[in-house]
Chains A and B, each alone.
Chain A
């Protein structure tokens, strides 16, 4: 056993009271970088301190003596003075064992501000029980405070940039919607008014222009959906999934005449989430399921679910009889503007699955694909159970 271990063992055996604490205390007060002090509340001055606060702040012993009891009011940051005064008040009524803390700034002789944190507790009381002295430890936390301020400023700047980008993306897509719509109107009007008199080539070019402006409107709509999703924090409400799903399918009838007959929805539990966003999620997945099937084949889509109370999640499976997806690109299809087909084969913006994935993860869930080419696809969406 080392000498120190022997001493510590003796102390443990004999009890702390039998131990001569003086050398221990001398060493401790010498090596801690903090200022340890005992303050007499009646004389309003330090009766003990391991090192001088004033000298730690760069002042000479003569400076400190000249300032005397006025040192704290003189050197403390003016805006911290009211808190310091309140802290002193609190010290007078402190219960035994209670620790009061305060963070405050003092001016260094070089003009800079030093952040200090003080921990203080009752040292002893007079016969009436009033606090006579308190003991405190003060530590320099300037570096930590600066790091905190820097991190906070950087976070604020990053939040602002994100917010700016969100509103910019939304404004751009919103403002593009108008011209895209008007272009479509003008082109339609040309065909309506002059269609009969148009020769073949102009008619063909006009139909290409209408096709293109229609495509532009669809992309703009999807970009708007996406920016709306990233701009809003989802609500947390119970949603009857099967009711929502039936509504979504009805809404899709505008684009897919047979949607209601093609999609069968099994009974499903309630989930927790944002009804608008979850509706958009399933609209994206169902649109996919109804779009990607071989020429002439009738789409068949079945929606079922499996709730797992242990994990608190439900897995919704959307199974189609479409062309399927190569496992190699199962992750790729969730990327923004990622497409596997040209517009003429299957129209799309390449944003639907990116939107769906974004909504699922924002709700603490996910989307995965179970599929192989030619064998249909099953999209599995996990969401929190209500």
Chain B
């Protein structure tokens, strides 16, 4: 049995070009009460620099928007693999308003993207992510 206290996420990295959406997700995340820290970026490139500069402090989860200025979500994934490799990367959840089925297909074909969530983010989504981290931890420990 998993006790409630074990369901936690240390750090979420939020990449979304809308400041208002960032604010709303922070509120949802705070309300869920299972996340210790949220770091947010409006430009994917800034988020990538953050990951490259803080290798010992990587988030557990990246919430990634698709349509953003300059570097979109898929370009971010490619750039991240280029710069950081594939080992020990956070779980990437694509979080989008896109209703374009080709985006979902593309996400499912991108190994580094774990899941495709259609906005808005819910507390249940966060609990699901925390459980995913638990599973991953127990697999890694076994």
Partner-B contacts on A (CB < 8 A): 208, 211-212, 337, 339-344
Asked if residues A211 and B43 are in contact (CB atoms below 8 Å), the reply is: no
| Identity of the chain A residue whose Cβ is nearest the Cβ of B18 in the assembled complex | A343
CB contacts (< 8 Å) of A208 on chain B: these are 20, 23
Can you add 19 more A-B contacts, CB < 8 Å, to A342-B43, A344-B19?
A: A208-B20, A208-B23, A211-B20, A212-B20, A337-B67, A339-B69, A340-B69, A340-B70, A341-B69, A342-B17, A342-B18, A342-B19, A342-B42, A342-B68, A342-B69, A343-B17, A343-B18, A343-B19, A344-B42
User: Chain B residues in contact with chain A, CB under 8 A?
Assistant: 17-20, 23, 42-43, 67-70
Chain A's closest residue to B19 (CB) is A344
Chain B min CB distance to A102 (Å): 52
Query: Which residues on A sit within 8 Å (CB–CB) of B18?
Result: 342-343
Q: Which residue of chain B lies nearest to A338 when distances are taken between CB atoms in the complex?
A: B69
Majority DSSP secondary structure for residues of A touching B: loop
A204 to chain B: closest residue by CB: B23
Distance, CA A262 to CA B69, complexed state (A):
28
Distance (Å) between the CB of A117 and the closest chain B CB? 47
Closest to B42 in A: A342
Which residue of the partner chain A has the closest CB to B24?
Answer: A208
Residues of chain B lying within 8 A (CB to CB) of residue A339: 69
Lowest 10 A-B CB distances belong to which pairs?
A339-B69, A342-B17, A342-B42, A344-B19, A208-B20, A340-B69, A341-B69, A340-B70, A212-B20, A342-B69
Cβ contacts under 8 Å, A211 to chain B: 20
B70 to chain A, nearest CB (A): 6
Instruction: Give CA–CA (A344, B68) in the complex, Å.
Output: 13
Q: How far is the CA of A211 from the CA of B18 in the complex (A)?
A: 12
Would you give the shortest CB distance from A245 to chain B, in whole angstroms?
A: 29
Residues of A within 8 A of B19 (CB): 342-344
Q: How distant is the Cα of A341 from the Cα of B19 in the complex, in angstroms?
A: 12
21 residue pairs of the A-B complex, CB under 8 angstroms, read A208-B20, A208-B23, A211-B20, A212-B20, A337-B67, A339-B69, A340-B69, A340-B70, A341-B69, A342-B17, A342-B18, A342-B19, A342-B42, A342-B43, A342-B68, A342-B69, A343-B17, A343-B18, A343-B19, A344-B19, A344-B42
Cα of A344 to Cα of B20 in the assembled complex, Å: 9
